Amino acid sequence: MSLSPGLPPDHAIGFCYNPTMEERFSFLDSHSHRVAAILTKPSRETDKIAVLCHGFLSSKTSSTNNALTRMLIEQNIATFRFDFFGQAESEGPFDQITVTVAVEQAIAAIDLMQQKGFRHIGLMGSSFGGLVSILTASQRADLTCLALKCPVVDFAEELRLEFGEEGMAQWKATDTIPNIMGGPDRVKLQYAFYDDCLRQIAYDPARSITVPTVIVQGDQDEHVPLHQSRQLYEALRVKKHLELVPGADHQFTKGQDFIRMTQVIADWLTRHLTSTQR
């Protein structure tokens, strides 16, 4: 099955849905933080849903999340998108975010979807959201499948490579980091985030994942080292697939790269969520 998003990432943000099919609301995580979310349902009743986790300094309405929502809705699969702590519309100062808090929010999102009657749940994460999704999936036996877009597996290593020794020292001294998405201003982020990352390296937890998993990454990714995806792939003990997109960067900036990435992920989620074997 081949699903096409039809539009490159620059246009994905403009996708609109029938308002009768889309519900915007907030839920509370285990610490009573308010988490902003969007539940999008197809016109026909379904018990299948994909929970979509966005990347660092991104939001629930990222290009990838919006494109996947449109593609999955066409296959009668709902999606649930939410903003992590301190990002976009969710509560909390961003500088206090940790991987641990993000995982707790992903777990709360899945629990909420189960309460709403969804029996077949796929989990998808982009970059930082990929790390969160790996750690979340390693703690649950009730998911149907997992899809990872250029996932961070060891964020502490990526940050050291990104900032260098001098940049790490500046972060520790100022509790600010460069905007890794290219913005001119430094971003407030407590150094405790790095300490938490050291406790949340996902290679070993990945061995506990019990559902089919796909990894998609560009072989010219300028942020997440390719060896992280390769080592993650080796750690997984389930049905798995690693899709390396030649020439693609971290953002899948080229239209054809974005289309290939979203096709692979949507196909994987659709295939496993609609399978009669689970």
pLDDT band, very low/low/confident/very high, at 227 (cuts 50, 70, 90): very high
Contacts of 274 (CB under 8 A, 6+ apart): 48, 75, 77
pLDDT in tens, 23-38: 999 999 999 999 999 9
In DSSP terms, 217 is beta-bridged to 244
Residue 278, amino acid: R
The closest alpha carbon to 207, from 151, 137, 148, 109, belongs to 137
Report pTM: 0.91
Burial of residue 138, with CB atoms counted within 10 A of its CB: 0-12 exposed, 13-18 middle, 19 or more buried: middle
Q: Which residue has the higher pLDDT, 69 or 59?
A: 69
- Model confidence pLDDT, tens digit, residues 102-137: 999 999 999 999 999 999 999 999 999 999 999 999
Residues 71-86 pLDDT 10s: 999 999 999 999 998 8
35-65 burial, b at 16+ Cβ within 10 Å, e below that, comes to bbbbbbbbeeebebbbbbbbbbbbbbbbbbb
Domain boundaries, the chain: 9-154+206-273
| 192-220: average pLDDT | 98
Instruction: Please give the CATH topology (third level) of the domain spanning 9-154+206-273.
Output: Rossmann fold (3.40.50)
Structure tokens at 53: 């986790």
Q: Is 176 exposed, middle or buried (0-12, 13-18, 19+ CB in 10 A)?
A: middle
